[in-house]
Structure 1
Amino acid sequence: MNASPGPRREHQPPYWYGGGAVPLASRLLAAVYAAVSGMRRRLYARGWLRRGHPGVPVIVVGNITAGGTGKTPMTIALVERLRSEGWNPGVASRGYGRSDASAAVWVDAATPPDVGGDEPVLIARRTGVMLRADRDRAAAAKALAAAGCDVVICDDGLQHYRLRRDIEIEVVDGRRRYGNGQLLPAGPLRELPARAADCDFRVINGGDAGFGEWPMRLLFDRAVPVRGGRPRALESFKGHRVHAVAGIGNPERFFVMLRNLGIAVVPHAFADHHRYRAADFEFGSQLPVLMTEKDAVKCAEFATDAFHSVPVRAELPEAFWISLLDRLDSISAPSSPPDISVGAT
């Protein structure tokens, strides 16, 4: 069955990952994008644009492609592991999709998604971590350090050069990788692959990890009622038809994940960060609804007993954590970090 006719906006042209000719207009715009982004990087590298550091170690999680690669599960895994090692982490996030992006806000489990952003609210609910949403991630990091955090994790901040960082983690979709290898909008790249080579760790979500790369698996085994209640085994849906809802960077990954368990998926793909309404779920048939956690946090007000979220958790090799923790222990934070003021990003 085809995806629902509900609100959807196509982010990824077919030539990004599926081959085919790139339109001339997209190639011309990509050249302009390359010039502007390259100039911006050089201005920061030469110190002509100010960068800020909060005075505690900063770990940036990001990617060089547009769309989802698994950054949020990676961030959650970082929070949980660092906390277990005695650190007091905080998370800085832009909070994409917030109703007032100009306002900096503290996000916790009770923050409405339209105020804090869907991904920050999800992270806060899963971990209880101190989290600051601010389009100026450098200012957010400073606020977290002032509040007592001894390490800052910046969620989706690889291109936010205003924040000076100590460790960079690139998360890569192991199956799609870098697509056609071209910059936006001709391809999916925010920056060229040479930029990714500068990152301290390259984490591969799914697919096969190569030399110098760290494999990450997303584990899932439960379906949690959105309205609250006892979780049930995800395998209990095996052999049954369900409406599968995903408003993430790569919805097909979620659908394939369910199909691989033997679940008969009726897919409904929405734009990343879509703001759901009850009308979006008028599918014409009364089937169970399975959705990602990121989608579920925005559906609590109108969810029915049929709505279930599917939480995922990231699993990485112990050798990765040992290497990361060794790197973190070796970092000496600057004794006099520069002042940070809100400004251009």
Structure 2
Amino acid sequence: MKRRTQPMIIFFISTLFYVACSKDASLIEKSFQTPKAFGVWNDFSLSEPIIVDQSGVDMQGYWPDGKISAVKEEGSEKFVLYWAENYSFRTEGNTPFPEDQIDQLRPQNRVFGVGFNQISDFTDAGSWFIGVHRLIDGRLAGFFHAESRWGSLTAFKSIGIAYSSDNGRTWTKGEKILNVNYTKPREARWSGLGDGCVVYNEDRQQFICYYSANIEGEDYKICMAASDDPYGSPDTWKKWDGRNFTIDGYDSETGIGGVDHKLAGLTSQAGANPSVMWNDFLKRWVMVYAGWNGVLYMSSSVDGITWEQPLAISKNAEETAGYPNLISEYGDLEGSKVVRLYYARNQNAAGVRQFAYRTITYNEID
């Protein structure tokens, strides 16, 4: 990653001086945690779209349909991608970029979802991976968006977690971790929460799930929940209350969770399907998500909690866009000066869409 030499030397010297003068070990540790940003999150260039060929693959014309997770294999330079659909796929390649692995989207590479882990009133209509993470015990945790239906496309949504002990080839059936404050309605209506992503926030030592839920009297807006458990286990998740994580994500005894609260910084634009990564060039978290108007929005946060006013990064007069994914040469969890933005382009009434990407290049601070 590109860095300027002179500011880093100055920072190093000032840090040594601080350490030599300080008697407080905790303050010394904090001095090393003051990173210098090399760019600004809202100062970037965006390339023209490139269309990824999806002809001949399973679910042709319906990619992307949610999150694409990129996990680097231990002891290898290879990346494993998990593609979210009502059944999720697993592919392998030398890069984390979807265009290099899309030809592996075949029925034999389905590993999760319909036909694998269907549970009545929870995952009977499918499971879409929204984040795959390697745990401290070597297993993989697969967080997923779940849908239950009434015989039509209308769905009740929730979020769950499954685990894999064989590098993502097979998974447990999964358990629920987040639910709205009511059970699945008797009559069909779009309901529940979901369409999210999960990151691990190192500074906070938490898994954080960013998801979309209906805010009463408003619309579906971005919310969040967190778990302090290193495995993201069920019954450890708390929803955001506007100031902290205090509200039950899901109570297995009652079958419901607590009330959802929107993220204050993102209230100006309702939407869903956030993709969040830490950007080492910006020293910030970056989020992109899809508005209901067919526009993609970008926001940023220093701590993953307080978010900036979202900025429109696409125009629906030129194209409609949805299901955004941020992926860099390091995968989907970390980026730098150059990041690719993958998304669904010009989806028609039948749901068929183009698979496109643009390159985001953040400008250096003068």
- Normalised by the shorter chain, which TM-score bucket? under 0.3
Q: When the two structures are superposed, what TM-score results if normalisation uses the length of structure 1?
A: 0.25
More helix by proportion, 1 or 2?
Answer: 1
More strand by proportion, 1 or 2?
Answer: 2
